[in-house]
Structure 1
Amino acid sequence: MANTTNQEANLALVRRMYECFNRDDLDTIRREVFASDLVWNLPGRHPLAGTKYGAEEVLAFFAELRQANIKVTLDPQSDPATGIDSFGETTVVEVHRGRGTTSVSDAGGNQVQVTLNALNCTHYQIKDGRIAEVQVYISDQYAVDNFFNAVYQLAPIPDRLARD
């Protein structure tokens, strides 16, 4: 039988991360929520996609989400109370919605609005009271890719290529 005290603490930890993110309190996330060796996996074919290693990389990703006016909320349709639940003693699974609208320049230099309204599911592994591993699942990958590709332009070659 699972330890309900651990499960409740894990749920509270993930909820706290969302609360801190939405009020731009990334320092609390760094100090109190994320494991130092955190691994965060975000699928996609856009500049923010891929695996992030460590709290600093994930927080840099969070800062870019905030820059793009993204707010993330747990989705109450998955669970009328919260949109979040535990799965065993070390796993939290939640359904969340990422929403945001921002202005970008189109190819002709005109300002246009791009909007994201994405329903996603995230799987968290909790270790020693901290979020240690995350896998995000995207419901509409094309919409997410299109939004972030519009918001974030790649640097010209060769500046975008990593070199030794």
Structure 2
Amino acid sequence: MSRIGKKPVAIPGGVTAKIENGVLSVKGPKGTLTMGLSDQVTYSVDEATVAVQPINQSKQARSHWGMQRTLVSNLMEGVTNGFTKVLDIKGVGYRATAQGKNLKLQLGYSHDVDIAVPEGIEIKTPDNTTVEISGIDKQKVGQIAAEIRRWRKPEPYKGKGIAYRGEFIFRKEGKKK
């Protein structure tokens, strides 16, 4: 039994959810999100909740159950509050600036790194060592944050690089004399 899957997802005020043609669409104050439905799980929408149940007790159906419930919960959270990831840049000369629909990174390479911001994602740089990524789709926000971080992962000796806010970087001791 899935402990997460058993709980129905509450529909917040100002949010509507409906199922049409195998697609769950959720509309809220921040926008509209859609999700394709799994055939291993049944969904039921009423006025206040969305419930998810497996179609049978097979291992595959039970494994989809909790994940599908979490995806529905992420849709509700996204259209009401949205999601934000914050990246911190550490290193001498490492900088980031948001320029319209592009993010320009200076990371010690011989060239600047330009990253195109996808539709539905907003990137802010409150200072030149902080990047705030926000949007209503949790997967897109996490994906663009991972792509930015991939350009210069934090290294263990000095901690230089791009790290998520709150991420622990395991530090190593340097060479001894």
Structure holding more helix per residue: 1
Q: Which has the larger radius of gyration?
A: 2
Normalised to the residue count of structure 2, the TM-score between the two structures is 0.25
